[in-house]
Amino acid sequence: MIAFGPVPSRRLGKSLGVNNIPDKVCSYACVYCQIGRTIKMQIERQEFYDPKEIVEDVERKVNEALEKGEEIEYITFVPDGEPTLDINLGKEAEMLKDIGIKLAILTNSSLVWRDDVREDLMNFDFISLKLDAVTQDVWRKVDRPHKSLSLERILEGMLTLKDEFPGVVVTETMLINIDYGNELKRIAEFLKDLKPDKAYIAIPTRPPAEKWVKPASEEVIHLTYQLFSEAIGPENVEYLIGYEGNAFAFTGNVEEDLLSITAVHPMREDAVRELLKKANASWDVVEKLIREGKLIELEYNGVKFYMRKLKSRL
């Protein structure tokens, strides 16, 4: 199940997800990751799936969604790892263009210093770049990068990409419960150079990889908004801290929908109940998937979430 959704996205409206990286191959091991812990840390690009298989699965899911009257505003690469590790990324995006729906990608930015990665990204309409830190200490504490990555090269790569890319470039900065010192000021200074179309300020809203991780304080969130607004203008800064809503699409098979969505996107209990209602199904479906070891129940900030049982969550 490579394609999933459509799911509600706070950035992209109704988004059909593409899970082009298996659980959980990544260049980072972010402490707040909703997928869980990184199982295989790498920076070498490789083939994970046949591009034809990805395109066929996306086309199938698009057709199912449209038949059910579901709207799709973007096809978004948002997998169980870092999407640019996929060496066929450019080819897949090129093939998907024929569907006629805009393409988006959410990347941790770690490989944008590579010419081939930036070339692949040119096939997209919308790129979200992770920007959690601009100094070594905070970067290593929050994102826990692959040891051979260079933050300096990554930041240079982001600036080059912004110059080259004709579409929309946004950044996303995740704020957690650590002492940032002057880091937020430094990130704001970098944003002034980068000039993204939008700088999103996020906090963890789903169960994180590390249990100690909590959202930053309101004071830190507010300070970040002030600093970013001064750097690039308040119209270009937006909070990404609310719940995106329960408008998850039912595309015909409720078990498949639940498992494909929760493989990437832990769902709150109320969202699961709403999806079951759309499918005329009862809570027994969830209990059955838990019994079969396919679904797990997690709790974060007093809210119950349901997630596909992945190795990264064991």
User: What CATH number did the domain enclosing 191 receive?
Assistant: 3.20.20.70
* Residue 309 included in any domain: no
Mean pLDDT across 94-115: 96
118-127: pLDDT as tens digits: 999 999 999 9
Pairwise pLDDT comparison (296 vs 81), residue with the higher score: 81
* Residue 272 included in any domain: no
Pairwise pLDDT comparison (104 vs 301), residue with the higher score: 104
Task: Using CB atoms within 10 Å of the CB of residue 2, give its burial: 0 to 12 exposed, 13 to 18 middle, 19+ buried.
Answer: buried
pLDDT of residue 297: 83
Res. 306: pLDDT tops 70: yes
Pairwise pLDDT comparison (8 vs 134), residue with the higher score: 134
The model's pTM is 0.84
Pairwise pLDDT comparison (11 vs 196), residue with the higher score: 196
- Residue linked to tokens 């990264």: 312
Per the structure, the complete domain to which residue 201 belongs is given by 3-240
What percent of the chain is predicted at pLDDT more than 90? 61
Residue 300 tokens read as: 């974060």
User: In the chain, how many domains are there?
Assistant: 1
pLDDT of residue 43: 97
pLDDT band at 251 (very low <50, low <70, confident <90, very high): low
Mean pLDDT across 134-158: 97
* Residue 276 included in any domain: no
* Residue 141 included in any domain: yes
pLDDT band at 196 (very low <50, low <70, confident <90, very high): very high
* Residue 229 included in any domain: yes
* Residue 146 included in any domain: yes
* Residue 281 included in any domain: no
* Residue 246 included in any domain: no
For residue 136, CA distances in Å to 6, 106, 147, 183, 227 come to 37, 22, 12, 10, 20
